[in-house]
Amino acid sequence: MLFDIDAAVIENRRLSEDFSVLVLDAPAIAAATKPGQFVMLKPTHSSDPLLRRPFSVFEVIRNSNQTPTAISILNKRTGVGTSLLYEAERGATIGCLGPLGRPFEPVAPPAEAWMVAGGVGLAPFVTLATRLQKLGTPTTLFYGARTAAELYYTGLFEQLGVHTVLATEDGTRGTTGRVTAPLGEALSALGEQNAIKLYVCGPTPMMRAVAALAAEHRRECDVSLEQVMGCGMGGCYSCVVLTRDPGQAPHFVRSCLDGPVFNSRRIVWEALTH
Amino acid sequence: MDLTVSLGTLRLANPLIAASGCFGYGVEYAGAIDLASLGGVAVKGLFLAEREGHPPPRIVETPSGMLNAIGLQGIGVHRFIAEKLPELRRLGAVVFVNICGTTLDEYVELARILSDAEGVAALELNISCPNIKEGGITFGCSLTGTHSVVSAVRKVTRLPVIPKLTPNVTDVASFARAAEEAGADAVSLVNTFLAMAIDVETRRPRLSNIVGGLSGPAIRPIAVRMVYECRQAVRLPIIGMGGIATANDVLEFLIAGASAVQVGTANFVDPLLWGKLIDGLTGYLTRHGIERISDLTGTLDTTKREHAWISS
């Protein structure tokens, strides 16, 4: 079920000069969202910017009766639309269309879930971790950022029973360097009989590296891709990703409908440039 | 109140048609809106064969508009008939099939195939896509090309034939006239304006195809003018389009001379806009005491006004 809501801003938590978590009053969307799905947001009624932008649902927020009441999104200020969202104040309304897209497929025990996030790529993993906790699936989050101050919400994941492995490029918290290093070591240390599934979202080079590790260690891997998206509904054919399916030549599929979550084996990684 | 409009023999429940290239194959929207509530659905342009289209980036936003160079990715006419058309029929959609050819024969073959298919209301001839090198727009940018493709398709089908005209010509009205002389049932206009955008930091084009088609509110005043010019030149029904986002925008096109309109880019922003447009149109008709929306077509008042305040 699809909803288009003029959602009031309940709260806009500024995490830094660039990052904020925007909480939107959208109970119907909150109730319908599955892990890894996204919403299309329009921060203004004017025609500049004209198009909506896709955002993973970060949190589904529930009241004391456990009824879903709101969603939040993790926003990084990069352009006009994301700046308007960063600056939005309580009471402003944001056009919110969703939930959209193919969700993650959470694994059940005895399999383990390993989530791999880079920067703002953390966004789809709270909904997934919440679902995995309900299933009782042992879950680890490998989470990398430039610096300690940009590793957000690690406490929230720990509350959800997630084991965290952190990395920063400047070494201010966790391992120094890319998060793919501790991930690679953990994969190498893993016994053949231990079933795990990888879930990854972050910058394209990071996802490409994780997909390569998954292939090398023969592990299932879901990737959540973000492409330039026009409509989120399958109407415009802008957000295509080159995929390879058995017995077929590589072909473009729409990441809004076939994704944003794909099995990493389907992606023609060398064609993914941004 | 009567919202029905006629395009020759084709009668539509209302003047609102989803624009080709902006609405997938229609079925993508079936979960969100009632396709039968639209005047029509113009599906994504089809060739005989499947096509992959251009690599991303395929769109870029510009002030009050967007550029696209999708490159007509599509499933081809046979898969469309097998996989999409039955569903569209079941949903009660009035289907305008947009057809594209690299040769005149391809248009003719497509028209033949679709004339035998169940559930096609009209053929829209895409002779105006700015994003492919071969065929298509080469017909749409030449008066003899337009005439020859329309008359060739006309000979093989009883379906309404509606060439979609490009604005990338000096005098669009002469192309409407060529279409009329060749036996078209209506014309639709405008397709997108050839345009480009550059990332100055990298000095690279923002689209993989380098150039693309501009759509959205930015082009609307030009499109309204072109519909107005065509209205002066031909008696054919006109389907107007270009940046329509509100009921007022629809009314502008109708008053300028369109019998129906297509909505494209605005559907990306607001896929549920159709009901709002209908409400806006009925509100206008009520306010102006107009019974039939079709009575508005071409009613632009251009009589000279006396300006007492100037002469006094």
Q: 């229609």: which residue's tokens?
A: B26
Q: Which of B70, B217, B267 sits opposite A237 (nearest CB)?
A: B70
Distance from CA of A78 to the nearest CA of B (A): 15
Q: Compute the distance between CA of residue B126 and CA of residue B198 in angstroms, rounded to an integer.
A: 27
Same domain, A219 and A118: yes
Confirm or reject contact between A218 and chain B (CB < 8 A): no
Question: B181-216, pLDDT tens digit by residue?
Answer: 999 999 999 999 999 999 999 999 999 999 999 999
Active site residue B129: yes
Confirm or reject contact between B216 and chain A (CB < 8 A): yes
Q: Contact, A228 vs A79, CB < 8 A?
A: no
Amino acid in position A64? S
Q: Compute the distance between CA of residue A124 and CA of residue A126 in angstroms, rounded to an integer.
A: 6
Q: Contact, B285 vs B279, CB < 8 A?
A: no
Flag if B24 and A238 touch (Cβ within 8 Å): no
Query: In chain A, which ranges are continuous DSSP H helix?
Result: 27-32, 80-87, 125-135, 154-159, 180-189, 204-216
Q: Compute the distance between CA of residue A203 and CA of residue B22 in angstroms, rounded to an integer.
A: 29
| β-pairing verdict for B187-189 and B238-241 | parallel
Domain that holds residue A192: 112-224
Distance from CA of B172 to the nearest CA of A (A): 26
Smallest CA–CA distance from A236 into chain B, residue:
B22
Identify the residue among B25, B46, B58, B68 best suited for mutation to test binding to A, counting A beta carbons within 10 A and taking the highest. B58
Q: Is residue A272 part of a domain?
A: no
Chain A residue numbers touching B265 (CB-CB < 8 A):
50
Largest CA distance in chain A: 56
Confirm or reject contact between A32 and chain B (CB < 8 A): no
> Over the range B183-202, which residues count as b (16 or more CB within 10 Å of their CB) and which as e?
ebbbbbbbbbbbbbbeeeee
Confirm or reject contact between A268 and chain B (CB < 8 A): no
Amino acid in position B219? I
Q: Which two tokens stand for residue A130?
A: 């919440």
Flag if A231 and B216 touch (Cβ within 8 Å): no
Flag if B24 and A47 touch (Cβ within 8 Å): no
Within 10 angstroms of residue A80's Cβ, the number of other Cβ atoms is 14
Q: Compute the distance between CA of residue A125 and CA of residue A224 in angstroms, rounded to an integer.
A: 10
> Over the range A138-165, which residues count as b (16 or more CB within 10 Å of their CB) and which as e?
bbbbbbbbeeeebbbbbebbeebebebb
Q: Which of A51, A233, A273 sits opposite B61 (nearest CB)?
A: A51
Q: Is residue A245 part of a domain?
A: no
Residue-level pLDDT, tens digit, chain A, 274 residues: 899 999 999 999 999 999 999 999 999 999 999 999 999 999 998 888 999 999 999 999 999 999 999 999 999 999 999 999 999 999 999 999 999 999 999 999 999 999 999 999 999 999 999 999 999 999 999 999 999 999 999 999 999 999 999 999 999 999 999 999 999 999 999 988 889 999 999 999 999 999 999 999 999 999 999 889 999 999 999 999 999 998 889 999 999 999 999 999 999 998 887 6
Flag if B28 and A233 touch (Cβ within 8 Å): yes
- The pLDDT score that the predictor gives to residue B245 is 97
Domain boundary among A68, A100, A132: A100
Query: In chain B, which ranges are continuous DSSP H helix?
Result: 76-79, 85-90, 104-115, 137-140, 143-156, 172-181, 220-233, 247-256, 265-269, 273-287, 308-311
Q: Which two tokens stand for residue B81?
A: 């008939």
Closest CA to B189 of B218, B217, B220: B220
| A 43-102 residues inside an 8 A Cβ radius of B | 47-52, 95, 97
Q: Is residue A55 part of a domain?
A: yes
Q: 């989470």: which residue's tokens?
A: A143
Q: Is residue A139 part of a domain?
A: yes
In angstroms, the Cα distances linking A226 to A201, A202, A230, B204 are: 9, 9, 12, 21
- Output the CA torsion B149→B150→B156→B159 (10° steps): 140
Residue-level pLDDT, tens digit, chain B, 312 residues: 999 999 999 999 999 999 999 999 999 999 999 999 999 999 999 999 999 999 999 999 999 999 999 999 999 999 999 999 999 999 999 999 999 999 999 999 999 999 999 999 999 999 987 666 566 777 888 999 999 999 999 999 999 999 999 999 999 999 999 999 999 999 999 999 999 999 999 999 999 999 999 999 999 999 999 999 999 999 999 999 999 999 999 999 999 999 999 999 999 999 999 999 999 999 999 999 999 999 999 999 998 776 666 655
> At residue B272, what are phi and psi to the nearest 5 degrees?
-100, 25
Distance of CA B138 to the CA centre of its chain: 18
**Count of domains forming chain A:** 2
Smallest CA–CA distance from B18 into chain A, residue:
A235
Q: Contact, A62 vs A27, CB < 8 A?
A: no
Flag if A51 and B271 touch (Cβ within 8 Å): no
> At residue A169, what are phi and psi to the nearest 5 degrees?
-65, -30
Q: Compute the distance between CA of residue A182 and CA of residue A174 in angstroms, rounded to an integer.
A: 10
Same domain, A67 and A132: no
Q: Which of B28, B52, B245 sits opposite A252 (nearest CB)?
A: B52
Assigned CATH topology for domain B5-53+70-193+217-300: TIM Barrel (3.20.20)
Q: Is residue A142 part of a domain?
A: yes
| B 16-75 residues inside an 8 A Cβ radius of A | 21-24, 28-29, 31-32, 44, 52-53, 55-61, 63-66, 68, 70, 73
Q: Compute the distance between CA of residue A117 and CA of residue A141 in angstroms, rounded to an integer.
A: 7
Q: What residue segments make up the domains of chain B, in order of their start?
A: 5-53+70-193+217-300
Confirm or reject contact between B175 and chain A (CB < 8 A): no
CATH code assigned at A82: 2.40.30.10
Identify the residue among A3, A231, A240 best suited for mutation to test binding to B, counting B beta carbons within 10 A and taking the highest. A231
Q: Which two tokens stand for residue B71?
A: 């490159």
CATH code assigned at A165: 3.40.50.80
| β-pairing verdict for A196-201 and A240-243 | unpaired
Distance from CA of A221 to the nearest CA of B (A): 24
Distance from CA of B65 to the nearest CA of A (A): 7
Q: Which two tokens stand for residue A81?
A: 């639309």
Chain A residue numbers touching B55 (CB-CB < 8 A):
242, 271
Give the three-state DSSP class for B247.
helix
Q: Compute the distance between CA of residue A69 and CA of residue B79 in angstroms, rounded to an integer.
A: 43
> At residue B192, what are phi and psi to the nearest 5 degrees?
-75, 160
Task: Identify the DSSP state of B33.
Answer: S
Chain B residue numbers touching A1 (CB-CB < 8 A):
31
Confirm or reject contact between A115 and chain B (CB < 8 A): no
Q: Which two tokens stand for residue A122?
A: 């953390």
Same domain, A95 and A143: no
Give the three-state DSSP class for B310.
helix
Give the three-state DSSP class for B92.
coil
Rg of chain B, C-alpha, whole Å: 19
Helices and strands per DSSP (H, E), number in chain B: 11, 16
Question: A111-130, pLDDT tens digit by residue?
Answer: 999 999 999 999 999 999 99
Q: Which of B21, B24, B65 sits opposite A50 (nearest CB)?
A: B65
In the Cβ-directed half-sphere of B43, how many Cα atoms lie within 13 Å?
31
Question: A25-44, pLDDT tens digit by residue?
Answer: 999 999 999 999 999 999 99
Q: Which residues pair with A63 in a beta bridge?
A: none
In the Cβ-directed half-sphere of A188, how many Cα atoms lie within 13 Å?
6
Helices and strands per DSSP (H, E), number in chain A: 6, 16
Flag if A50 and B29 touch (Cβ within 8 Å): no
- Output the CA torsion B222→B226→B232→B234 (10° steps): -170
Flag if A274 and B57 touch (Cβ within 8 Å): yes
Flag if B269 and A50 touch (Cβ within 8 Å): yes
The span from the first CA to the last CA of chain A, in angstroms, equals 30
Flag if B272 and A252 touch (Cβ within 8 Å): no
Where are the strands (E) in A87-192, listed by range? 93-100, 112-118, 139-145, 163-168, 175-176
Q: What's the CA angle centered on B99, arms B96 and B104, to 5 degrees?
A: 140
